[in-house]
């Protein structure tokens, strides 16, 4: 009204008065707050019961709903999770038909858009009970045509109250989703007066919008047995809706649907709404980023392996090789099984051991299905049969090789790999010159290889020899004063008796990443123990106060000794005591030409998809300090202008950074029957003796690389256990173990980045992490590519190939080709072979580039994430141009000649 007043003496307040008149003319009831009531039964796909029980829970709950619908014609019911519908369709076909009929009436309403209500940090939409939401979800939702979002979980945050209930949620790339948090903070109210009043009072955007959703009903097939949960009881809720429909002094309650609610907001209130930018962080359950490490390891491995199978068979489809048809059925089944385990109590590790067992056997089956498939596909590619069949632009190495390397990434890679001894013996000329190779302790042969982007490269013995005969390295490993020095062309690391990094010099810049600050007791690669006694749920939570119980591991069982020793790899091994029964054993290695220092924690005797987020390293506000443990996928980086530290991993998700400390949580373990938990984490610490701005021109990337296995068994509970660990802590309950990095001698960065991303190899390997000093920004230093390479190593197969074949190359490192696959609907692949290519911008900048392929391209079209064509693109015979905005994800349908 104030904005409508002008200085015009006569008419200055005319418009404002009109608005005021209309406002006060409204009778009671006309503008009354409206509650959109929807029946809902939050059925956890697995939690305190296995998957098999959920099938029955769905049938029981939904048949009750159908009966109630017959009696109450206004009843509406919202139901998510396609997997649950698939189970009922298969096991209870008659019930399924009834559900279909009610769905046709618009009363049994499918919501969600995802296979299960998955975890929202590690892989959205209708996710009332997920423990945090990645900043990339708005873009992904939009890509599949979903523009509305609902959750209640953020209301569980311990420290800060989220300021909105109906608002725009803006993601990393700028995409916005209309979002609603039902103000009763509950997905199973009982239409009681408290919830009704809370829905009105707790609606934080009152004034901007006058509607809210209230979900009512019994969750998980009945909830607490002590509560009345009969048919009649749900009927009481329905009767209450009837009574409260229009009562003076109370908000109106109406049987409604998500569509009616969101449409009303869209029609009336969109311009009034506030915007929240970035992730929706849940200030609780941070332990779920680490709990049940095995499940998280399997998830990472299998997501990557399935993508690799898709890439290999896409290549074979374009090459049109007989006997190599695209394995649609196995891929479909395997993806659905991996997705099933992404349910929000399975992947986060918050379900019972029975569910964990179920989940692992599902993973093992997926692995058993796709491993031979991948091997067969790689054998076909390596056979060179395509070579004789069709002419493509290849890079002839002039050598016929019986060992073929497959690179799944769209960039060239040069690195030391290991080849089984027998396979190496089959190489032509292998015995003539062995100068360029190294025999490792496991009987494998280490060779230095250069692999073409996304494709196959014959192993060239000539190149290996050249590399081996190159510049002579000085002594790699030296023992000096109790310290060990590992040194190659790029790095010099000083490691003490406890395996801690005292110094890591980046030779190009001459700068040391670590400061030997013994006074504070901080060192790089420091293993630490923490007590861990959460206030609420053991398997879900870790509290900030655990950080006050830090205990470094310094008792040496075995001092560092030389392990691998040759021209390509040098490494040392050492062993530390955790308790009288437990120990940790680690190998630190440095490869020739490597810019990373690798950590393989071989024995522990006890243990955003797409894009990145910038986070503060300080805790100025309560919002900052509540994030003492956050999600990250393949890497995290702490940088200043042109120098920083990156921490890469191949199966971990829980990160934290405060001031100069970066920590990666490695594992949560059940250690007693109570159950209690231990978390193992690695920390990277940066000291900052000087103020922030303008100091320092060096950059450090840490790629700690470690394999861990738990070996202390507790037969009484049948799970891997670290039960004796608490013996050395004061409290006999929960324990954290960390390794810590103390990285110094450069100014304190105020921000760090984490990568929300998900992505297997043929079997889960031990965990790895590595560290590496680099100059320039983490983007230019290749941290993102290095993280991909750590997660999906080069594969070797036997074959007969004399030409390298690179399927795709992208000429801009900011553009990453994430997925290559056949469309889900392959029915009309008549004229040519159509592939779906999904790429994204990874650096956070505008990027342009050219994607090239040796295969003749017929058509290129942009499509959405559902693979529906949107627009045709111009292209050349073997390439097309791509233009991306920061963190944008794009998909193309590319047709090749058959």
User: Toward Zn ion, which CB reaches closer, 44 or 687?
Assistant: 44
Q: Does 223 bind Zn ion (CB under 5 A)?
A: no
Q: Where are the alpha helices (DSSP H) in 771-852?
A: 783-791
Query: Which DSSP letter does residue 154 get?
Result: G
Indicate the residue among 344 and 746 with the shorter CB distance to Zn ion: 344
Please report how close the Cβ of residue 152 comes to Zn ion at its closest, in angstroms. 11
Measured CA to CA, the distance from residue 600 to residue 573 in angstroms comes to 9
Do 45 and 347 form a contact (C-beta atoms < 8 A)? Answer: no
Nearer to Zn ion, 44 or 818 (CB): 44
Residues 6+ apart with CB under 8 A from 862: 869, 870, 871, 873, 890, 891, 892
CB neighbours of 532 closer than 8 A, spacing ≥ 6? Answer: 542, 543, 546, 677, 678, 679, 733, 734, 735, 736
Closest residue by beta carbon to Zn ion: 129
> Given the complex with Zn ion, which of 41 and 722 has the nearer CB atom?
41
Q: Which is nearer to Zn ion, 187 or 610 (CB)?
A: 187
For residue 129, the minimal CB distance to Zn ion (Å) is 3
- From residue 43 to residue 62, the character string flagging contacts with Zn ion as x (rule: CB under 5 A) and all else as - is -x------------------
Looking at beta carbons only, is 129 or 433 nearer to Zn ion? 129
Name the one residue in this structure whose structure tokens are 């627009």.
871
What are the tokens at 356?
């964990």
Which helix (H) or strand (E) segment is 576 a member of?
Answer: strand 569-577
The answer to whether the CB of 805 falls within 8 A of the CB of 854 is yes
Structure tokens, 496: 């003490």
Residue span binding Zn ion (CB under 5 A) among the ranges 103-111, 122-130, 420-428, 567-575: 122-130
Closest to Zn ion by CB, 116 vs 196, is 116
Which residue among the candidates 129, 269, 762, 780 is catalytic per the annotation? Answer: 129
The C-alpha atoms of residue 889 and residue 528 are separated, in whole angstroms, by: 39
What does the block give as tokens for 636? 């995290």
d(CA 428, CA 556): 46
Tell me how far, at minimum, the Cβ of 130 lies from Zn ion, in Å: 8
With both helix axes pointing from N to C terminus, report the angle between 93-104 and 51-71 in degrees, rounded to the nearest 10.
50
Nearest approach in angstroms of CB 122 to Zn ion is: 15
| Binding-residue pattern over the window 451 to 480 for Zn ion, x denoting contact by CB under 5 A | ------------------------------
Report DSSP letters for 317-386, one per residue.
HHHT-TT----HHHHHHHHHHHHHTTBTTTTTT-S-HHHHHHHHHHHHHHHHHHHHHHHHHHHHHHHTHH
Q: What number of residues does the chain have?
A: 898
Dihedrals phi, psi of 885, to nearest 5 degrees: -95, 170
Query: 127 vs 567, which CB is nearer to Zn ion?
Result: 127
Q: Which of residues 123-142 bind Zn ion (CB under 5 A)?
A: 129
| 120 or 678: CB nearest Zn ion | 120
Quick one: tokens of 380? 């076909």
Closer by beta carbon to Zn ion, 217 or else 849: 217
Strand order in the sheet with 477-480: 477-480, 483-487, 491-495, 501-506, 511-512
Identify residues 518-547 at the interface with Zn ion (CB under 5 A): none
Contacts of 26 (CB under 8 A, 6+ apart): none
Q: How many residues contact Zn ion, by CB under 5 A?
A: 2
Phi (first) and psi of residue 623, to 5 degrees: -70, -35
CB of 654 to Zn ion, least distance (A): 20
> Shortest distance, CB of residue 788 to Zn ion, whole angstroms?
32
DSSP-based three-state secondary structure for 580? coil
Name the residue nearer to Zn ion (CB basis): 115 or 643.
Answer: 115
Strand (E) or helix (H) holding 178: strand 176-180
Other CB atoms within 10 A of residue 830 CB: 6
| Shortest Cβ 42–Zn ion spacing (Å) | 6
Between the CA atoms of 126, 130, 134 and 139, what dihedral angle is there, to the nearest 10 degrees? -10
Which one, 44 or 496, has the nearer CB to Zn ion?
44
The CB-of-287 to Zn ion minimum distance in angstroms stands at 16
Q: Which two tokens stand for residue 671?
A: 């250690």
Task: Give the relative orientation of helices 82-91 and 51-71 as an angle to the nearest 10 degrees.
Answer: 90
Nearest Cα to Cα of residue 286 among 677, 635, 711: 677
Give me the least distance between CB of 84 and Zn ion, in Å please: 13
Q: Scanning residues 283 to 322, which ones bind Zn ion (CB under 5 A)?
A: none
In Å, how far are 85, 140, 199, 203, 204 from 274, measured between CA atoms? 35, 21, 19, 13, 11
- Least CB distance from residue 541 to Zn ion, whole Å? 16
- Two tokens, residue 632: 């990250």
Per CB under 5 A, contacts with Zn ion among 7-46 are: 44
Q: What is residue 721's three-state secondary structure?
A: coil
Q: CB-based contacts of 607: which residues, under 8 Å, 6+ apart?
A: 293, 666, 667, 669, 678, 680, 708, 709, 710, 720, 722, 737
Confirm whether 129 is a catalytic residue. Answer: yes
Contact 693, 701 (CB under 8 A): no
Shortest reach from residue 286's CB to Zn ion, in Å: 17
Cα(331)–Cα(303) distance, integer angstroms = 11
> Closest separation between CB of residue 361 and Zn ion, Å?
22
Residue position matching structure tokens 């608490």:
726
Q: Where are the alpha helices (DSSP H) in 26-105?
A: 51-71, 82-91, 93-104
CA 303, CA 290: separation in Å to the nearest integer? 18
Q: How far is the CB of 342 from Zn ion (least distance, A)?
A: 13
- Whether the Cβ atoms of residue 775 and residue 508 lie closer than 8 Å to each other: yes
Nearer to Zn ion, 129 or 811 (CB): 129
Catalytically active residues, by annotation: 129
Q: Which residues bind Zn ion (CB under 5 A)?
A: 44, 129
């Amino acid at each position: 009204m104030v904005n409508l007043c002008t200085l015009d003496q006569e008419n200055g307040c005319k418009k404002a008065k009109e608005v005021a008149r209309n406002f006060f003319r409204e009778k009671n009831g006309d503008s009354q707050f409206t509650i959109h009531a929807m029946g809902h039964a939050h059925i956890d796909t697995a939690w305190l019961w296995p998957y098999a029980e959920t099938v029955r829970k769905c049938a029981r709950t939904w048949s009750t709903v159908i009966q109630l619908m017959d009696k109450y014609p206004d009843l509406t019911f919202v139901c998510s999770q396609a997997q649950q519908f698939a189970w009922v369709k298969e096991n209870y076909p008659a019930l399924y038909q009834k559900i279909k009929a009610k769905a046709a009436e618009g009363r049994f309403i499918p919501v969600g858009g995802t296979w299960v209500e998955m975890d929202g940090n590690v892989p959205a939409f209708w996710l009332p009970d997920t423990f945090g939401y990645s900043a990339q979800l708005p873009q992904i939702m939009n890509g599949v045509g979903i523009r509305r979002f609902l959750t209640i979980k953020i209301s569980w945050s311990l420290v800060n109250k989220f300021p909105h209930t109906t608002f725009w949620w803006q993601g990393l790339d700028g995409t916005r989703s209309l979002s609603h948090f039902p103000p009763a903070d509950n997905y199973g109210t009982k239409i009681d007066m408290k919830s009704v009043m809370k829905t009105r009072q707790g609606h934080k955007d009152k004034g901007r919008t006058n509607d809210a959703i209230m979900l009512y009903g019994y969750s998980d097939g009945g909830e607490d047995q002590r509560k009345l949960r009969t048919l009649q009881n749900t009927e009481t809720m329905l009767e209450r809706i009837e009574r409260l429909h229009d009562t003076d002094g109370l908000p109106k309650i109406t049987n409604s649907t998500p569509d009616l609610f969101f449409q009303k907001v869209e029609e009336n209130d969109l311009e009034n709404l506030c915007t929240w930018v970035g992730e929706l962080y849940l200030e609780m359950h941070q332990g779920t980023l680490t709990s049940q490490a095995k499940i998280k390891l399997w998830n990472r491995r299998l997501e990557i392996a399935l993508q690799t199978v898709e890439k290999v068979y896409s290549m074979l489809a374009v090459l049109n090789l007989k006997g190599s048809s695209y394995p649609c059925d196995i891929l479909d089944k395997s993806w659905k099984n991996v997705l099933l385990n992404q349910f929000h109590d399975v992947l986060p590790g918050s379900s019972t051991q029975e569910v964990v067992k179920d989940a692992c056997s599902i993973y093992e089956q997926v692995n058993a299905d796709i491993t031979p498939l991948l091997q067969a596909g790689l054998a076909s590619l390596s056979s060179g049969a395509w070579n004789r069949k069709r002419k493509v632009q290849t890079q002839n190495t002039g050598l016929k090789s019986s060992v073929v390397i497959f690179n799944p990434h769209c960039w060239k890679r040069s690195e030391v790999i290991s080849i089984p001894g027998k396979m190496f013996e089959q190489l032509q000329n292998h015995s003539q010159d062995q100068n360029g190779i190294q025999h490792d302790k496991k009987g494998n042969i280490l060779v230095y290889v250069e692999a073409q982007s996304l494709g196959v490269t014959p192993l060239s013995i000539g190149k290996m020899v050249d590399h081996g005969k190159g510049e002579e390295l000085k002594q790699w490993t030296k023992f000096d004063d109790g310290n060990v020095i590992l040194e190659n062309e790029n790095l010099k690391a000083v490691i003490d008796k406890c395996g801690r990094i005292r110094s890591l010099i980046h030779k190009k810049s001459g700068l040391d990443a670590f400061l030997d600050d013994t006074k504070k007791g901080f060192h790089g690669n420091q293993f630490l123990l923490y007590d861990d006694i959460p206030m609420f749920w053991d398997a879900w939570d870790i509290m900030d106060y655990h950080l006050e119980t830090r205990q470094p591991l310094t008792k040496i069982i075995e001092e560092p000794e030389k392990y691998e020793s040759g021209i390509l790899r040098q490494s040392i091994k050492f062993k530390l005591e955790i308790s009288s029964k437990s120990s940790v054993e680690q190998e630190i290695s440095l490869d020739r030409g490597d810019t990373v220092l690798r950590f393989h924690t071989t024995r522990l005797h006890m243990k955003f998809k797409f894009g990145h987020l910038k986070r503060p390293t300080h805790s100025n506000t309560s919002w900052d300090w509540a994030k003492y443990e956050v999600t990250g996928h393949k890497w995290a980086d702490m940088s200043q202008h042109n120098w920083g530290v990156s921490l890469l991993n191949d199966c971990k998700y829980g990160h934290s950074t405060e001031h100069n400390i970066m920590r990666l949580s490695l594992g949560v373990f059940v250690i007693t029957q109570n159950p209690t938990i231990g978390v193992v984490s690695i920390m990277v610490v940066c000291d900052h003796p000087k103020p922030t701005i303008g100091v320092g021109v060096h950059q450090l990337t840490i790629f700690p690389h470690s394999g861990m296995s738990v070996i202390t068994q507790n037969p009484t509970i049948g799970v891997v256990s670290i039960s004796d660990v608490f013996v050395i802590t004061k409290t006999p309950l929960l324990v954290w173990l960390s390794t810590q990095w103390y990285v110094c001698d450069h100014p304190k960065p105020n921000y760090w980045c984490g990568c929300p991303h998900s992505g297997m190899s043929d079997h889960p390997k031990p965990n790895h992490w590595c560290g590496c000093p680099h100059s320039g920004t983490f983007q230019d230093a290749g941290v993102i590519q290095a993280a991909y390479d750590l997660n999906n190593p080069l594969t070797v197969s036997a074959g007969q190939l004399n030409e390298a074949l690179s399927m795709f190359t992208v000429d801009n490192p900011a553009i990453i080709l994430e997925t290559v696959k056949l469309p889900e609907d392959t029915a009309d692949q008549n004229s040519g072979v159509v592939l779906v290519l999904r790429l994204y911008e990874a650096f956070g900048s505008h990027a342009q580039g050219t994607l090239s392929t040796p295969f003749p391209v017929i058509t290129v079209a942009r499509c959405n994430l559902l693979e529906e064509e949107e627009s045709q693109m111009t292209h050349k015979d073997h390439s097309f141009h791509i233009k991306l905005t920061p963190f944008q994800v794009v998909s193309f349908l590319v047709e090749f000649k058959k």
